[in-house]
Amino acid sequence: MKIGSVDLKSPFAIAPMAGMTDTAFRRLVKRHGGCGLVVTEMVSAEGLIRGIDRTLEYAEYTQEERPISIQIFGGDPDKMAAAAQIVEGMGADIVDVNMGCPVPKIAKHNAGCSLMREPGHAASVIAAMAKAVKIPVTVKMRAGWNDDERNAPTLAKMVQDAGAAAIAVHGRTAAQSYSGSADWDLVARIAADLTIPVFGSGDCLEPQQIIDRMRSGVEGVLVGRGVLRNPWILSQAMDLAAGRPPRVVTLEDRGIFLLDYIDLLMTERVDEARETTHDRWVVNKLRALGSWYTKGLENGSHLRTGINSAPTLGALRQLITEFFGVGLSSAAR
Ligand SMILES: Cc1cc2nc3c(=O)[nH]c(=O)nc-3n(C[C@H](O)[C@H](O)[C@H](O)COP(=O)(O)O)c2cc1C
């Protein structure tokens, strides 16, 4: 499939997740296969324009992640157009606009999901961006602001007309946050209505669910929490799509993933203004991932507690090595 002139080798993608989908995590998921597109964590348009170090850090990516989409948030058409030009200058393949974030800190600045409350204005943001850059401009939205304002079908058409090259819809309202379930009937209606590619997002925790959701008529599926629990889910979905049994992930594979994640994070450039050491930053990153990654694992809550209390990076590495039996299977061979 294509987004504008950008070719995707798989219709399955990692959904943008603030605090989680950093470049190290994206690279590892990509290396395991099945991932057609990665999207950065959302970055502030204002921060990009002002050259804020932390914002630039969130927007960093490596060549192996291509095609890469950088997601920006903001509400002012001129500033969003200027930020899109910066994203284009950074070499990104796609610039994505966040119209789904329900967090008040973002939404109160007329950005994130609050853009959905002013469809005319939201469309003018996309028009300004599409005019300013050559790379595809895409939009990620929710079903609407709340149950009385489920306007994603109308807004989707408006942003398509304004020049968006693709859209993604998470079938929940901002008011729902993550409660209830994603409305895939709504996503299917939008996919049927639009001529540009539509991605659906929401509640795919098993590879088979991704395959089932593709039947709703979407061109692709963005998987969020399912990837945090199981970074192999996209590759397993590709196996299913090809009629193969999904690859088996061993406990050791899961341990190696976390150790590789630590190693990649240790090579990362981090904002010097952080009030923490590099080691501490990595420990905190592992805690954030651990809260998702340990869900559904046997003794997962035990591991989670261990990760949250490991005092040093060395202790964390040892805990992971022992819990997952890393090195045991090769020693036995
Ligand atoms: C921790 C977390 C952070 C998220 N951050 C973003 C974000 O920065 N931008 C965005 O568009 N969506 C964000 N989302 C929403 C996801 O991209 C996705 O649409 C949503 O989680 C539903 O998909 P899922 O059920 O597969 O997780 C976030 C979700 C989670 C769980």
Cα–Cα distance, 135 to 91 (Å, whole number): 9
Site to probe by mutation for ligand 1, drawn from 12, 14, 17 as the one with most ligand atoms within 8 Å of Cβ, is 17
Using a pLDDT cut of 90, give the percent of the chain over it.
Answer: 90
Contact indicator for 129, 162 with CB cutoff of 8 Å = no
Which residue carries 């798989």 as its tokens? 10
User: Which pLDDT does position 109 carry in this prediction?
Assistant: 78
What span, in angstroms and rounded, lies between the C-alpha atoms of 48 and 27? 23
Pocket of ligand 1 from Cβ distances under 6 Å = 15-20, 41-42, 71, 98, 100-101, 140, 170, 201-204, 222-226
Instruction: Give the mean model confidence (pLDDT) for residues 198-215.
Output: 98
Mean pLDDT of 119-125: 98
* Residue bearing the CA closest to ligand 1, atom 29: 17
Q: Taking residues 126-150, report their average pLDDT.
A: 97
Q: Which atom of ligand 1 is nearest to the CA of 41?
A: 8
Shortest-distance Cα residue to atom 2 of ligand 1: 17
Cα(21) to centroid(ligand 1), Å:
10
Which stretch of 55-64, 217-226, 270-279, 294-303 has the lowest confidence by average pLDDT?
270-279
Q: What is the overall mean pLDDT for the chain?
A: 95
User: Which region among 13-27, 60-74, 108-122, 133-147 has the lowest average model confidence (pLDDT)?
Assistant: 108-122
The rounded distance, in Å, linking the Cα atoms of 264 and 288 is: 16
Please, what is the Cα angle at 39 between 37 and 42, to 5 degrees?
A: 170
Structure tokens at 307: 């990760």
Instruction: Indicate which residue's Cα is closest to atom 21 of ligand 1.
Output: 224
User: What pLDDT, in 10s, does the model give residues 297-311?
Assistant: 999 999 999 999 999
- Rg of the Cα trace of the chain? 20
CA-wise closest residue to 21 among 86, 90, 98, 82? 98
Distance from the alpha carbon of residue 243 to the mean position of ligand 1, in angstroms? 29
Residue 254 Cα to ligand 1 midpoint, Å, equals: 22
| pTM, two decimal places | 0.96
Name the residue with the closest Cα to ligand 1, atom 31. 225
Q: Summarize pLDDT for 182-196 with one digit per residue, the tens.
A: 999 999 999 999 999
Neighbours of 5 (CB within 10 A): 10
DSSP letters, 184-227, are HHHHHHHHHH-SS-EEEES---SHHHHHHHHTTT-SEEEESHHH
Weakest mean pLDDT among 55-64, 100-109, 252-261: 100-109
**Tokens 């950074």 sit at which residue?**
90
pLDDT of 332 > 50? The answer is no
pLDDT at 6 over 90: yes
CA-based angle 209:228:145, to the nearest 5?
70
Closest by Cα among 50, 51, 95 to 73: 95
Please say if 101 is a catalytic residue: yes
Predicted confidence at residue 333, as pLDDT, reads 42
Mean pLDDT of the region 80-85: 98
Q: What percent of the residues of the chain are helix, what percent strand, and what percent coil, each to the nearest 5?
A: 50, 15, 35
CA angle (172, 177, 183) in 5-degree steps? 15
**102 Cα–ligand 1 center, Å:** 10
Biggest CA–CA distance in the chain, Å, is 64
CA 29, CA 12: separation in Å to the nearest integer? 12
CA of 328 to the centre of ligand 1 (A): 35
Q: How far is CA 317 from CA 242, 312, 328, in A?
A: 36, 9, 15
pLDDT tens column, 51-73: 998 899 999 999 999 999 999 99
What is the enclosing helix (H) or strand (E) of 264?
helix 251-266
| Distance of CA 98 from the midpoint of ligand 1 (Å) | 10
Of 35, 101, 113, 204, which residue is the catalytic one? 101
**CA dist., res. 327 & res. 7, Å (int):** 38
Q: Which of 94, 142, 170, 186 to mutate to test the pocket of ligand 1 (most atoms within 8 A of CB)?
A: 170
